[in-house]
């Protein structure tokens, strides 16, 4: 199964729409959004997708985001989430709470741990904990790198970063 991983949309609707279209083209069957959606309008773009949301430090309208997630049939954003895909556990958190990120990393439970917050792509295997840390980069907010998302093939472990140099 291919998982599309997004983060830090910061209410950039056009960027999110473009990324979702590309993820669909690339065969993503499920999505993880690693936080900083910022408004319910972004959540509505995910209608029809199996999606897992986590709460970012800029997701201040929590009640509105929770209501929007429920309207599209998704669990509301939380500080951390986990999903199981084909016997593989994937954890997700935004990353602004480093103690949460490290607890999840050191738990030994997850093969993959997805986060955002830094707006920088990351694919790093932490050998002591047997976990692969993945940050897809950002679709909005400050721009230390080109806009990007990632696609993870859970069966093979292949990870592809998809960059969008045309997006601001």
Reduced to 3 states (helix: H, G, I; strand: E, B; else coil), residue 85 is strand
The reported pLDDT for the residue numbered 7 is 98
Radius of gyration of the chain (CA): 14
The pLDDT of residue 66: 97
pLDDT tens digits along 103-141: 999 999 999 999 999 999 999 999 889 999 999 999 999
Q: What number is the average pLDDT over the span 78-101?
A: 96
pLDDT of 13 higher than 90? yes
Q: What confidence score (pLDDT) does residue 155 get? A: 93
Question: pLDDT value at position 10?
Answer: 97
State the total domains in the chain.
1
**Which of the pair, 166 or 84, is modelled with greater confidence?**
84
The domain containing residue 123 runs over which residues? 2-164
Q: CATH no. for residue 13?
A: 3.60.21.10
43-70 tens-digit pLDDT: 999 999 999 999 999 999 999 999 999 9
Name, in order, each residue with C-beta under 8 angstroms of 45's C-beta and a sequence gap of 6 or more.
13, 16, 17, 20
Predicted model pTM: 0.96
Q: Are 137 and 148 in contact (CB under 8 A)?
A: yes
């Amino acid at each position: 199964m291919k998982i599309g991983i997004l983060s830090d949309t910061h209410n950039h609707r056009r960027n999110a729409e473009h990324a979702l279209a590309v993820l669909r083209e690339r065969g993503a069957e499920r999505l993880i959004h690693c936080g900083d959606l910022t408004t319910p309008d972004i959540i509505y773009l995910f209608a029809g997708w199996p999606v897992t949301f986590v709460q970012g430090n800029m997701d201040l309208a929590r009640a509105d985001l929770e209501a929007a997630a429920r309207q599209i049939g998704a669990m509301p954003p939380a500080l951390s989430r986990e999903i199981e895909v084909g016997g593989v556990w994937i954890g997700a958190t935004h990353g602004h709470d480093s103690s949460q990120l490290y607890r999840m990393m050191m738990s030994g439970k997850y093969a993959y741990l997805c986060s955002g917050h830094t707006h920088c792509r990351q694919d790093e295997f932490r050998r002591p904990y047997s976990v692969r840390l993945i940050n897809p980069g950002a679709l909005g907010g400050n721009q230390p790198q080109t806009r990007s998302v990632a696609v993870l093939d859970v069966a093979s472990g292949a990870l592809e970063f998809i960059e969008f140099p045309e997006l601001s």
